[in-house]
Chain A
Amino acid sequence: MMAETIIQLDNVSVTFQQKKASVQAVKDVTIHIQKGDIYGIVGYSGAGKSTLVRVINLLQQPTSGRIQVGDDVLFDNGKEVISTKTLRQKRRKIGMIFQHFNLLYEQTVIQNVGFALKHSNLDKKALQAKALKLLDMVDLADKADAFPAQLSGGQQQRVAIARALANDPEILISDEATSALDPKNTNQILDLLQRLNTQLGLTVVLITHEMDAVKRIANRVAVMDDGVVIEEGSLLDIFTNSKEPLTKEFVGAEKGSKAIAALEDAHLAQLQPDEIALQLIYFGESVSEPLVVTLYKNFNVEANIIYSNIDVLGETVVGTNFVVLKGTDANRQKAIDFLKKANVVVKQIKAGDENHG
């Protein structure tokens, strides 16, 4: 299915002019986000993630590049190509939530939501009703007349979500929205975002430094470092096929490499000519199949698991095993072919004959 591109950032750069030096926070970034995506942008603080997403609704003016949201080009050739008034209307269709919630603390919960509806042409009664409906959607209808400071962090973030969704946006930008929350609230908010994505078809841009958040709900991921998108792809791709060291660090693949290093002496250095070390990555249903048993039964190949790890990416279970296969060349090849047919990603770590050649 060819999806429709809803956010299109082309060659976007953002440079901050400071007194003496100029700092390039975002360097020539091109990202296309499809409608209905939950698009994770990960990276350490200072990588330029927040600056990058702020150009989507022009809270941050880029220095150069082109920005298109839906059918509207907002920025091109170094300047805004949209009137202030149209930009304000456009911003109402791009909801945004923040790490520190950024609510109006002198206004009640329902007034906070109502604030976003101020220019919606709804009469007072309809506005009130809509605000209440939004609060109901985030399970906070009973707190309508409370002040934000009386709520927990997770509840405050839910108010912020209700406010962000007030004008029925197609896009929700989440800027480290769970970073100030405890794990329980974090998961609640992430699950809420996922529910909104499924129920309303909301496109979510999820900025975070927590890979767990991305693993839980994202379907695509971009990794940023020093203002540059260093790697981009589907969640599974990023998790199983990452090329950049930083990406590996984020997805926890470096755990595997460290395991290899640690096992180097114990196992890998002493590989026999009839042995081969492999990394096996498998998804979903193949996880539950007794691969090791099958290999031995069908191909007379012994599989010795030396490291094993299981991740849950959204709905998909991803297993990573480092194994040493022992058997004749032909049988080992058959076994590998069988694994590949069973949708297992097979990467050769080391072959025994290399050592003993």
Chain B
Amino acid sequence: MAKTLANIFPNVIYQGWLGDGGWWTSIVQTLYMTFWSAIFGGILGLVFGLALVVTDSDGILPSRHLFSVIDKIVSIFRAIPFIILLAFIAPVTQKIVGTQIGTTAALVPLSLGVFPFYARQVQVALKSVDHGTIEAAQSVGATNKDIIVDVYLREARSELIRVTTVTLISLIGLTAMAGAIGAGGLGNMAISYGYNRFANDITFVATLLVLILVLIVQILGDFLARILDHKNA
């Protein structure tokens, strides 16, 4: 069995499990980058998305100026192609992390790359909350905090989980590019060890692993969104 595998995927076996360029190392790197940039970028995106909805002209704290500033920040970051953002943001990364290369250094551009995408998704999700529901909450004397927590976030919960799933999948895609700044991961495995060395079996297995990761996220997200949705009896 092991022999047959070694025949079909010689380079895959050669790559090994641990150490630099090992499969386990790459999987951990991808998970590490996805997890932490999802946390940082997620918080940033949630705050910006929420701010966009709240300060909008029909929001609970309308402010044309604030809305316009936030809106522009999100649009500009969204417009920069990620591979360029990686290089462009390097001086900032240096300041924050102390180095421009490596897995941890990649968290800065990854977070900044994913937050505008997530902010827009959150904005759309929160906008799905009916204005009448907010009005009803105001009519019973709810504070703005009540409205944000119990109305916006709670009512849009399933919708938020759905857009988070989409964002996570998109984020896994971004981590594949982080190899360009020496962050490693499965994307790097597919390109540097697979494509660049004509080791197609490595590319194949790396792709398969990414697909499995995406599938797990998708199934989990769909499941959560479904069991937490009470809008339809």
Interface residues of A (CB under 8 A from B): 57, 59, 88-92, 94-96, 98, 100, 102-107, 115-116, 118-119, 147-150, 160, 163-164, 166-167
B3 within 8 A of A: no
The number of A-B residue pairs with CB atoms under 8 Å apart is 78
| A167 B231 Cβ-Cβ under 8 A | no
> 21 A-B residue contacts at CB 8 Å?
A88-B142, A91-B141, A94-B139, A95-B139, A98-B136, A100-B132, A102-B133, A103-B136, A104-B133, A104-B137, A104-B150, A106-B157, A106-B231, A107-B150, A107-B154, A115-B140, A119-B141, A119-B143, A148-B230, A149-B230, A163-B140
Residues on B with C-beta less than 8 A from A167 are: 140-141
Q: Taking the nearest CB of chain A, how far is it from the CB of B112, in angstroms?
A: 32
| A147 B233 Cβ-Cβ under 8 A | yes
- Distance, CA A312 to CA B136, complexed state (A): 33
Contacting residues of chain B (82-141) with chain A, CB-CB under 8 angstroms: 130, 132-133, 135-141
- Distance, CA A193 to CA B140, complexed state (A): 18
| A106 B132 Cβ-Cβ under 8 A | no
| B140 A166 Cβ-Cβ under 8 A | yes
- Distance, CA A27 to CA B138, complexed state (A): 25
Question: Interface size bucket, B side?
Answer: 20 to 34
| A118 B232 Cβ-Cβ under 8 A | no
- The DSSP consensus for interface residues of chain B is helix
Contact among B130, B142, B143, B158 for A102, CB-based, below 8 A: B130
Residues on A with C-beta less than 8 A from B132 are: 98, 100, 102
B20 within 8 A of A: no
| B140 A91 Cβ-Cβ under 8 A | yes
- Distance, CA A119 to CA B138, complexed state (A): 13
Known: A92-B141, A100-B130, A119-B141. A105 touches B136 (CB 8 A): no
| A164 B139 Cβ-Cβ under 8 A | yes
Which residue on B lies nearest to A111, using beta carbons?
B150
| B154 A106 Cβ-Cβ under 8 A | yes
- Distance, CA A88 to CA B136, complexed state (A): 12
- Distance, CA A4 to CA B21, complexed state (A): 83
| A104 B155 Cβ-Cβ under 8 A | yes
B222 within 8 A of A: no
B151 within 8 A of A: yes
- A sample of 15 more A-B contacts (CB under 8 A), given A59-B135, A116-B140, A116-B141, is A98-B132, A98-B135, A102-B130, A102-B136, A104-B133, A105-B155, A105-B230, A106-B154, A106-B229, A106-B230, A106-B231, A115-B137, A115-B142, A119-B141, A149-B231
Which residue on B lies nearest to A92, using beta carbons?
B141
Known: A98-B135, A149-B232, A150-B233. A104 touches B151 (CB 8 A): yes
- Distance, CA A91 to CA B230, complexed state (A): 28
Which residue on A lies nearest to B158, using beta carbons?
A106
Q: Taking the nearest CB of chain B, how far is it from the CB of A99, in angstroms?
A: 8
Residues on A with C-beta less than 8 A from B136 are: 96, 98, 102-103, 160, 163
8 closest Cβ contacts across the A-B interface?
A102-B136, A116-B140, A92-B141, A96-B139, A102-B132, A149-B233, A147-B230, A88-B141
Which residue on B lies nearest to A151, using beta carbons?
B233
Contact with A along B151-164 (1 / 0, CB 8 A): 10011011000000
